[in-house]
């Protein structure tokens, strides 16, 4: 494989109060490259004592000192600089992300990391525009509002878009003047640690961002239950999100949850079918399908289904996993052996419940050293909306194709799922597109496109896909609180 790392990967330390330190326990854990099974380096394994230290550093930075006293315009400059440094080091951070996660370097280098930079610059712009109102109250009073930061934010993030999803939390939190303790996923912590160095280089004051590597069960839980944490911003699975909401209730922390999905991608007979085929493949196979908004349920109107499937399968059969470090690769390695066995388990389940496997379905062991977590892009036809592969989030490259008869049938089936993260509609009928968009229970609806994101466009879930919104102006509401001030003018 061409995946010899062109960069040095250091052992990972914890970033607490501007210092790089070992875990209090001295424990470490390995992070591996899922495309080869090889250990990339060892990372410090933080636990409760380190959580205490990081929360104390974040609290101190929030309460007094350079960050607490900094003008919004100066916060903006630092955030902008972080974005520019991400651009400057894009080859290196992109490489780290690919080695750690298995996603194609094409995605890390040209999609994810450029968006990280954009997210920091977008929220840099907001820092000076977070403001209150003057309120027309009755009586001889002046009433105005102050929009203030919440305090110490614990950001807990998953492994699928490691640095990108961390930036969605860190950038708005810092723009609003909060301080942050970030816990990236154990599988993919390297890019977050590199971001810590970048923040130092950009002049972010000590303690404004702290980074702890370690397990969700110990470290994540310690942060969620910590009395010194004011808000938890979480992206991950619905079951862990539910546990976090339960664990945060005693201290009544603010909580935002970006959770799983089982997003319907609906193709009407009057759609541009070529475009819809491209959208369906990008919708499920971008990021190896380890994408919360993946279009994993493909609904195709019965009258065009055979023609559509023929075109779709032509396209899918040309897609094969490849070396993630090869710039030509568009489909990489799943993130871990555990994730691969989950995905293969769902493929078996699909067959045993009577769905028809029409593409892929197997692990690929002919790449590199044969130990990578490669699974073929997989398509099932003849799926019904009540089969397991249509109900549960697989979080892998497995597409479930379901037929529908008309608009009502499409909407009913699309909404018949516990999740509500995203959805897409393909049609040339503009009125139909808007009507269906309104009736889909999802936080994002794409019309004649799929997987578009922008730092200015809010993102988040309906139903069991969570609550709160990331990106856009909406995100700032979740990193600020409103104070109402009354002044007696009599």
Q: Which of 33, 160, 333, 427 binds ligand NAP (CB under 6 A)?
A: 160
Would you count residue 100 as binding Mg ion (CB under 5 A)?
A: yes
312 contact choice in Mg ion, ligand NAP, none (CB below 5 to 8 Å, kind-dependent): none
Site for ligand NAP in 376-415 (CB under 6 A): 393, 395
* CA–CA dist 66, 206 (Å, integer): 9
The angle, 0 to 180 degrees and rounded to 10, between the axes of the packed helices 407-415 and 430-439 is: 30
CA dihedral over 168, 174, 180, 186, signed as positive or negative: positive
Closest CA to 285 of 164, 451, 426, 414: 451
Segment interacting with ligand NAP (CB under 6 A) among 139-147, 179-187, 199-207, 269-277:
179-187
In the residue annotation, 199 being an active-site residue is answered as no
- Minimal distance in Å, beta carbon 140 to ligand NAP? 48
Q: 242-250, long-range: CB within 8 Å, 24+ apart, which pairs? A: 244/156, 244/220, 247/221, 248/224, 250/225
Q: Considering CB distances under 5 to 8 angstroms, the limit depending on partner class, which of ligand NAP, Mg ion, none binds residue 31? A: Mg ion
Q: Judged by CB under 6 A, which stretch of 36-44, 151-159, 302-310, 351-359 contacts ligand NAP?
A: 151-159
| Min separation Cβ 157 and ligand NAP, Å | 6
Instruction: Output the smallest distance, CB 331 to ligand NAP, in A.
Output: 18
Interface with ligand NAP, residue 469, by CB under 6 A = no
Task: Choose the binding region for ligand NAP from 1-9, 39-47, 113-121, 255-263 (rule: CB under 6 A).
Answer: 255-263
H or E segment to which residue 191 belongs: helix 190-201
For residues 178 and 61, the answer to whether their CB atoms sit within 8 Å is no
The one of ligand NAP, Mg ion, none whose footprint includes residue 334, by CB under 5 to 8 A per kind, is none
Question: Three-state DSSP class for 221?
Answer: helix
Which of 15, 16, 31, 476 binds Mg ion (CB under 5 A)? It is 31
Q: Is 339 in the site for Mg ion (CB under 5 A)?
A: no
Residue 417 contact among Mg ion, ligand NAP, none, beta carbon within 5 to 8 Å by kind: none
Q: Which range, of 230-238, 296-304, 317-325, 359-367, touches ligand NAP by CB under 6 A?
A: 230-238
Residue 15: both structure tokens together = 């970033």
Distance of CA 39 to the CA centre of its chain: 24
Question: CA-to-CA distance for 323 and 99, rounded, in angstroms?
Answer: 10
Residue ranges of the alpha helices (H) in 318-462?
337-352, 388-391, 407-415, 430-439
Nearest distance in Å: CB 357, Mg ion: 29
Strands 444-447 and 422-426, by their bridges, are: parallel
Q: Identify what 378 binds: ligand NAP, Mg ion, none; CB under 5 to 8 Å per kind.
A: none
Tokens (6 digits) for 239: 């079951």
Q: Which of 213, 186, 219, 181 is nearest to 47 (CA)?
A: 219
Q: What is the DSSP string of 115-129?
A: HHHHHHHHHHHHHTT
Residues in 48-67 at the binding interface with Mg ion, rule: CB under 5 A: none
Please report whether residue 156 would count as binding ligand NAP according to CB under 6 A.
Answer: yes
Reduce the DSSP state of residue 31 to 3 states and report it. Answer: strand
- The yes or no reply on residue 101 touching ligand NAP (CB under 6 A) is no
What's the Cα-to-Cα distance from 258 to each of 64, 195, 332, rounded to whole Å? 31, 22, 24
Q: If binding is defined by CB under 6 A, does position 216 make contact with ligand NAP?
A: yes
DSSP conformational letter for 89: T
Q: Which residue is nearest to ligand NAP (CB)?
A: 216
Could you confirm whether 258 is annotated as catalytic? yes
Binding site for Mg ion (CB under 5 A): 31, 100, 187
Binding site for ligand NAP (CB under 6 A): 156-160, 165, 183, 185-186, 215-217, 220-221, 224, 235-237, 240, 243-244, 258-261, 292, 393, 395, 421, 461, 465-466
């Amino acid at each position: 494989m061409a995946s010899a790392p062109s960069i040095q990967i250091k052992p990972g330390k914890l970033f607490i109060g501007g210092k790089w330190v070992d875990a209090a326990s001295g424990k470490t854990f390995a992070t591996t490259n899922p495309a080869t099974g090889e250990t990339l380096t060892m990372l410090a394994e933080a636990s409760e004592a380190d959580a205490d230290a990081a929360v104390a550093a974040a609290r101190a930075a929030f309460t007094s000192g350079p960050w607490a006293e900094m003008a919004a315009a100066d916060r903006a400059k630092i955030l902008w600089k972080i974005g520019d440094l991400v651009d400057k080091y894009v080859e290196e951070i992109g490489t780290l992300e690919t080695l750690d996660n298995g996603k194609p370097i094409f995605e890390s280098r040209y999609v994810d990391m450029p968006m990280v930079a954009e997210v920091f610059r977008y929220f840099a712009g907001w820092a000076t525009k977070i403001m209150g109102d003057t309120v027309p109250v009755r009586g001889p009073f002046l009433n105005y509002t102050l929009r203030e930061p919440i305090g110490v934010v614990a950001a807990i993030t998953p492994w699928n878009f490691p640095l990108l999803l961390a930036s969605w939390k860190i950038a708005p939190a810092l723009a609003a003047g909060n301080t942050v303790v970030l816990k990236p996923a154990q599988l993919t912590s390297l890019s977050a640690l590199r971001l810590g160095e970048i923040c130092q280089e950009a002049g972010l004051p000590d303690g404004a961002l702290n980074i702890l590597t370690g397990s969700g069960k110990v470290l994540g839980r310690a942060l969620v239950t910590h009395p010194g944490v004011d808000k938890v911003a979480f992206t991950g699975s619905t079951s862990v999100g539910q546990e976090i909401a339960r664990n945060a209730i005693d201290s009544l922390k603010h909580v935002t949850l970006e959770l799983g999905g089982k997003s319907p991608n609906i193709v009407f007979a009057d759609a541009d079918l070529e475009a819809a085929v491209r959208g369906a493949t990008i919708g499920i196979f971008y990021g190896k399908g380890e994408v919360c908004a993946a279009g994993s349920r493909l609904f195709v109107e019965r009258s065009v289904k055979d023609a559509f499937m023929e075109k779709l399968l032509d396209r899918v059969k040309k897609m094969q996993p490849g070396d993630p470090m090869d710039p030509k690769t568009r489909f990489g390695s799943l993130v871990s052996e555990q994730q691969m066995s989950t995905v293969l388990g769902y493929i078996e389940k699909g067959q045993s419940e009577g769905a028809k496997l029409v593409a892929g379905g197997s692990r690929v062991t002919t790449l590199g050293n044969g130990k990578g977590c490669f699974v073929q892009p997989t398509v099932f036809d003849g799926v019904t909306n009540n089969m397991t592969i249509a109900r549960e989030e697989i979080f892998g490259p497995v597409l479930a194709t379901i037929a529908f008869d008309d608009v009502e049938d499409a909407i009913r089936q699309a909404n018949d799922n516990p999740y509500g993260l995203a959805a897409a509609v393909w049609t040339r009928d503009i009125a139909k597109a808007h009507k269906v968009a309104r009736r889909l229970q999802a936080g994002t609806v794409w019309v004649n496109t799929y997987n578009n994101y922008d730092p200015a466009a809010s993102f988040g879930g309906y139903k069991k896909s969570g609550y709160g919104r990331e990106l856009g102006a909406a995100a700032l509401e979740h990193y600020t609180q409103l104070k109402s001030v009354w002044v007696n003018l009599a």
